[in-house]
C-alpha cells in the first residue's frame, strides 16, 4: 500500500488534526509506514528552534518516516489568524507551486500512508485568488473530509463535498467528529450525513474530552477509504 490523502474540514475547529493524527495512528497500528504535512499553519509559538505549531507537531509525532519539522510545516506564522492575513502581514507569498513542491517532497518519501492537512476549510485563501483547494488540486490527491458534527454541519458538509467533486477530486471518505456533545438529534443528523454524502464514512468519533490519537483511532476504519 502507498496512498496519500488531503485532509480538509467543514470549518475551522472541527478536529482535522485530531482525526488526522488518529488516522496516522491507525495506519501505524496496521503496520504501515506514515508521513504527514501541514504546509501552512498560523497560531504558532516561538521556541528555541523557531516557530512551532501544535497541530503540525501532533502530526509529526505520528510519522514513522524521519522528518524535520520544517519539512512538515514549511510555512509557519505566529498570529492565530487566517493564514493569508498572517502571510500578508509578513510580506510572505503563499505560492501554490512552492507549497506543492514542499508537500510533494513528503509524498515522494514513499510512506505507505501519507496525510496532507489543510487549514480551516476547503476555500481558505492563500495569495491572490488562490486557495488551499488549489493546492489539493495541484497535488491531485483524494480528499478526506472531517465533518465537525454540530448544529449546521449538514449544510457545511454537503457544500464542501460538492465543491471537492466540482474541483475534480475524489472524496475518498469522511469522518463524523462530534465536537458539540449537546447536538440535538445526533443520530438523525448522522443518518442524514450518511444519506447525503456520496462517499464512505470511515468513522464516527464521539465527543472525547481527551481525544488522544489512540482513542480516536479506535473509531476509525482505514479499510473503508477509497484509494
- Domains, the chain, ordered by start: 3-224 (3.40.50.300)
Residue 109 annotated as binding? no
Instruction: Please name which of 198, 206, 205 lies closest in space to residue 221, comparing C-alpha atoms.
Output: 205
Residue 91 annotated as binding? no
Q: Where are the alpha helices (DSSP H) in 30-94?
A: 54-60, 69-72, 83-89
pLDDT at 1 over 70: no
Please report the pLDDT score of residue 73 as a whole number.
98
- CA neighbours closer than 13 Å in the CB half-sphere of residue 148: 18
Please report the pLDDT score of residue 184 as a whole number.
95
Spatial separation of the C-alpha atoms in residues 118 and 9, rounded to whole Å: 8
Please give the positions annotated as active site. 38
pLDDT at 185 over 70: yes
Spatial separation of the C-alpha atoms in residues 201 and 92, rounded to whole Å: 37
Contact 217, 29 (CB under 8 A): yes
Kindly state the average pLDDT of the residues 75-91.
96
Q: How far is CA 108 from CA 27, 36, 87, 161, in A?
A: 18, 11, 27, 27
pLDDT at 95 over 70: yes
Signed CA dihedral, 205, 17, 55, 65: sign only: positive
Instruction: Please name which of 188, 120, 128, 192 lies closest in space to residue 160, comparing C-alpha atoms.
Output: 120
Spatial separation of the C-alpha atoms in residues 225 and 199, rounded to whole Å: 9
Residue 10 annotated as binding? no
Residue 118 annotated as binding? yes
Kindly state the average pLDDT of the residues 133-153.
97
Q: How far is CA 43 from CA 62, 117, 175, in A?
A: 21, 15, 25
Residue 108 annotated as binding? no
Q: What is the DSSP secondary structure assignment for residue 220, as one 8-state letter?
A: B
Residue 14 annotated as binding? yes
Amino acid at each position: 500500500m502507498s496512498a496519500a490523502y488531503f485532509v480538509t474540514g467543514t470549518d475551522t475547529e472541527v478536529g482535522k488534526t485530531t482525526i488526522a493524527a488518529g488516522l496516522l495512528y491507525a495506519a501505524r497500528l496496521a503496520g504501515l509506514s506514515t508521513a504527514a504535512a501541514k504546509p501552512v499553519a498560523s497560531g504558532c509559538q516561538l521556541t528555541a528552534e523557531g516557530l512551532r505549531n501544535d497541530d503540525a507537531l501532533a502530526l509529526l509525532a505520528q510519522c514513522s518516516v524521519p522528518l524535520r519539522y520544517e519539512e512538515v510545516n514549511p510555512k509557519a506564522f505566529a498570529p492565530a489568524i487566517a493564514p493569508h492575513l498572517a502571510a500578508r502581514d509578513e510580506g510572505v507569498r503563499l505560492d501554490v507551486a512552492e507549497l506543492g513542491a514542499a508537500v510533494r517532497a513528503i509524498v515522494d518519501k514513499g510512506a505507505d500512508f501519507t496525510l496532507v492537512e489543510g487549514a480551516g476549510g476547503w476555500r481558505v485563501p492563500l495569495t491572490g485568488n488562490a486557495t488551499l483547494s488549489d493546492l489539493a488540486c495541484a497535488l491531485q490527491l483524494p480528499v478526506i473530509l472531517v465533518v465537525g458534527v454540530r448544529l449546521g454541519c449538514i449544510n457545511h458538509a454537503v457544500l464542501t463535498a460538492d465543491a471537492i467533486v466540482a474541483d475534480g477530486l475524489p472524496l475518498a471518505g469522511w469522518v463524523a467528529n462530534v465536537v458539540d456533545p449537546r447536538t440535538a438529534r445526533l443520530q438523525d443528523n448522522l443518518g442524514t450525513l450518511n444519506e447525503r454524502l456520496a462517499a464512505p464514512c470511515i468513522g464516527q468519533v464521539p465527543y472525547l474530552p481527551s481525544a488522544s490519537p489512540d482513542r480516536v483511532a479506535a473509531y476509525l476504519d482505514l479499510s473503508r477509504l477509497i484509494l
